[in-house]
């Protein structure tokens, strides 16, 4: 199958115009609706937007490949669109997207069509190919360019297959040693997987390094690494956002990163893995302090992923029940009971999915038990977190024992041994070892905030909020947010210390984009035309608690602008905690702020910090020499 078998001329638009990401996606869905690929366009459209919420499909280099699998797709198809002026698409490189391919996949997708999509992703890595498509004068020319490149790629694939067959037949005579082997994988397995592979291969070729990349995509595991290839390689790169088979790399120098780093930093990854100081991978054994932290952090984030919607639901329902209009009514009583009941699941959910991240389903019961023990003994969110790791460790020990001594009894082991021994083991460790110090620490933190002097409250709120804008998705940002979410869960369904910390954290994330957007409107003379175009989007993202909305304003002077972000966030967080404001949900921004406690002071904190940030942004841009 060829790419143009999926790309109907009716689904191609050149010289299109779109003013926003949403408009571009809607136009693409309308284009593919002109064909007979969709059975339910609205259902597919919703699936595309849902996929986009999980992470932008703007791949950088002017390319975006929005996609989704949906029951609203009758058969696989593509749509293509060229927007010469570009559209802000939250791309990896921060630049506008101009060349769009929309992928429509049914739930039961054939390997043949997935091969085609993988080939398209590979072709789009070429600068020349992208430029030719952007400059195409007609739909026929656009299709011809794709056909010609597709033919070359198919020929290369056939040559590669033949080469691999020849190598397999003469493996004893040919040196099949690779300097580096790599695996790329993304959750969807459609675009990022293959683009990361192509980026690594191209950079290795440029550097004169021999590499083989296994692509673990939606079409299956392609170009699979052979044991002898792994054994002879000097190092391994795993650029993946999901679980891949890792035990085969035991004893090899290895670095593991997200798939986006494979696309953006191929040379850096290659140099790191060839560095003699690169750590050696050992299953279940951490090779360095940084990797230990990252493993613990990933397990904690797995628990938080499942915790957040539960916390938001419990907090919002309980806050609604306390509104004057509902208090004392049957509706208020109903909402309060539901919110309270959901809130009782917070610790077990957090603990269970931390354990699940460590050892899968075999650790779920142990993890749930750890959360229940934290609730029963009053060790709070710290106890639930620690017990989640304990549950995962207990499951690791049990599974190791079962694999050695109880082979052939899988049903009994799965139904009885794992849950019962896991629950008892976790309970005993929690009861005698972890719950008491966790309770002491948990209560100590609460007491510090509850009994803090005004100056200490200003300091705590300022530090937490400042962390939110210090590195935009980096370790400080994530640590600050984790503190807010975890202690919010400790407070719910009531508005306690944790909800006050979450209030400071939320303002810390909202204020930088709000300040930048407002500044561009109030003092436009110190902003470039490009920056002013981002003002409205920054305001919208700020209101929605999306800190990254400030990124387009950081290019002028990253250090100065980061300082402005941190200071303005710190002002908002400090005032919020000083006034004792509380928020009931871990996300939502303007949508949950009306439910905040001490709402007038929360809004005042937001307004003061935003205005302060707006004028600070403008002041730091005075006397700009790049404005003409």
- b/e code 305-323 from CB counts within 10 Å (16+ = b): ebbbebbbbbbbbbbbbbe
C-alpha distances out from residue 24 to 28, 101, 133, 498, 540, Å? 6, 11, 18, 40, 18
Please choose, from the candidates 361, 623, 363, 309, the residue with its C-alpha nearest in 3D space to the C-alpha of residue 492. 309
Dihedral sign from CA coordinates of 312, 315, 318, 321: negative
Q: Judge whether 186 counts as a catalytic residue.
A: yes
Cβ-Cβ contacts under 8 Å for 345 (sequence gap 6 or more): 310
Nearest 5°: CA angle at 115, between 109 and 120?
Answer: 115
Selecting among 37, 186, 565, 584, the annotated active-site residue is 186
The catalytic position among 67, 192, 534, 587 is 67
Residue in the structure block whose two tokens are 């990163």? 257
Give the 3-state secondary structure of residue 167.
helix
Contact 109, 218 (CB under 8 A): yes
Distances in whole angstroms, Cα of residue 149 to Cα of each of 81, 123, 548: 18, 7, 36
**461 within 8 A of 575, measured Cβ to Cβ:** yes
Q: Rounded to the nearest 10 degrees, how much is the dihedral formed by the CA atoms of 543, 544, 548, 549? A: -50
SS3 82: strand
**How is residue 247 written in tokens?**
């035990």
- Torsion of the alpha carbons at 337, 338, 339 and 344, rounded to the nearest 10: 90
Structure tokens at 264: 């953006």
Q: Spell 486-504 as b/e; 16+ CB within 10 A means b.
A: bbbbbbbbebbbbbbbbbb
Q: Which residues pair with 221 in a beta bridge?
A: 216
Distance CA 504, CA 609 (A): 12
Whether 581 is catalytic:
no
Q: What are the residue numbers of the active site?
A: 67, 186
């Amino acid at each position: 199958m060829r790419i143009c078998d999926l790309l109907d001329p009716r689904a191609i638009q050149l010289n299109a115009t779109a003013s926003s990401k949403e408009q571009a996606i809607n136009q693409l869905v309308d284009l593919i609706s002109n064909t007979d690929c969709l059975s339910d366009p609205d259902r597919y459209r919703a699936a595309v937007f849902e996929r986009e919420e999980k992470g932008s499909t703007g791949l950088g280099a002017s390319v975006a490949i929005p996609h989704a699998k949906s029951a609203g797709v009758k058969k696989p198809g593509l749509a293509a669109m060229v927007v010469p002026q570009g559209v802000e698409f939250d791309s990896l490189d921060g630049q506008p997207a101009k060349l769009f391919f929309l992928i429509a996949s049914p739930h039961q997708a054939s390997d043949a069509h997935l091969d085609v999509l993988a080939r398209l992703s590979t072709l789009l890595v070429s600068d020349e190919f992208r430029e030719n498509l952007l400059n195409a004068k007609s739909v026929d020319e656009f299709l011809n360019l794709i056909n010609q490149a597709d033919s070359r790629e198919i020929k290369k694939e056939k040559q590669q297959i033949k080469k691999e067959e020849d190598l397999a037949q003469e493996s004893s005579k040919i040196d099949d040693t690779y300097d580096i082997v790599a695996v790329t994988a993304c959750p969807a397995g459609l675009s990022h997987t293959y683009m990361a592979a192509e980026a690594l291969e191209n950079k290795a070729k440029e550097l004169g390094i021999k590499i083989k990349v296994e692509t673990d995509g939606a079409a299956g595991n392609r170009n699979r690494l052979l044991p002898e290839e792994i054994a002879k390689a000097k190092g391994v790169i795993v650029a993946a956002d999901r679980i891949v088979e890792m035990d085969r790399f035991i004893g090899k120098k290895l670095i593991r990163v997200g798939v986006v780093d494979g696309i953006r930093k191929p040379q850096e990854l290659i140099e790191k893995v060839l560095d003699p100081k690169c750590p050696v991978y050992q299953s279940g054994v951490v090779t360095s302090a940084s990797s230990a932290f990252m493993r613990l952090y990933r397990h904690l984030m797995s628990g938080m992923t499942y915790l957040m919607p539960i916390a938001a639901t419990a907090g919002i329902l309980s806050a609604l029940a306390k509104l004057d209009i509902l208090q004392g009514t049957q509706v208020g009583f109903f909402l309060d009971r539901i919110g309270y009941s959901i809130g009782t699941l917070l610790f077990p959910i957090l603990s269970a999915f931390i354990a699940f991240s460590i050892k899968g389903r075999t650790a779920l019961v142990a993890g749930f038990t750890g959360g229940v023990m934290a609730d029963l003994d009053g060790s709070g969110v710290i106890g639930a977190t620690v017990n989640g790791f304990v549950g995962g460790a207990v499951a690791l020990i049990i599974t190791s024992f079962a694999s050695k001594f109880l082979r052939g009894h899988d049903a009994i082991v799965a139904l009885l041994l794992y849950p019962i021994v896991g629950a008892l083991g976790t309970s005993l460790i929690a009861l005698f070892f972890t719950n008491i110090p966790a309770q002491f620490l948990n209560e100590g933190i609460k007491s510090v905030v509850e009994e803090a002097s005004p100056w200490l409250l200003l300091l705590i709120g300022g530090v937490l909020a400042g962390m939110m804008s210090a590195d935009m998705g980096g370790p400080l940002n994530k640590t600050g947010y984790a503190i807010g979410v975890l202690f919010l869960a400790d407070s719910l369904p009531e508005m306690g210390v944790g909800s006050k910390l979450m209030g400071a954290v939320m303002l810390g994330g909202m204020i930088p984009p709000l300040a930048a957007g407002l500044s561009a409107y109030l003092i436009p003379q110190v902003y470039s035309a490009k920056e002013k175009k981002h003002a409205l989007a920054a305001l919208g993202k700020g209101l929605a608690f999306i800190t990254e909305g400030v990124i387009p304003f950081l290019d002028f002077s990253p250090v100065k602008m980061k300082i402005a972000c941190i200071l303005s966030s710190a002002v908002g967080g400090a005032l919020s905690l000083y006034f004792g404001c509380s928020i009931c949900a871990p996300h939502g921004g303007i949508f949950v702020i009306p439910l905040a406690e001490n709402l007038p002071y929360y809004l005042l904190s937001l307004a003061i910090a935003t205005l302060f940030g707006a004028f600070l942004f403008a002041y730091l841009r005075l006397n700009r020499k790049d404005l003409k």
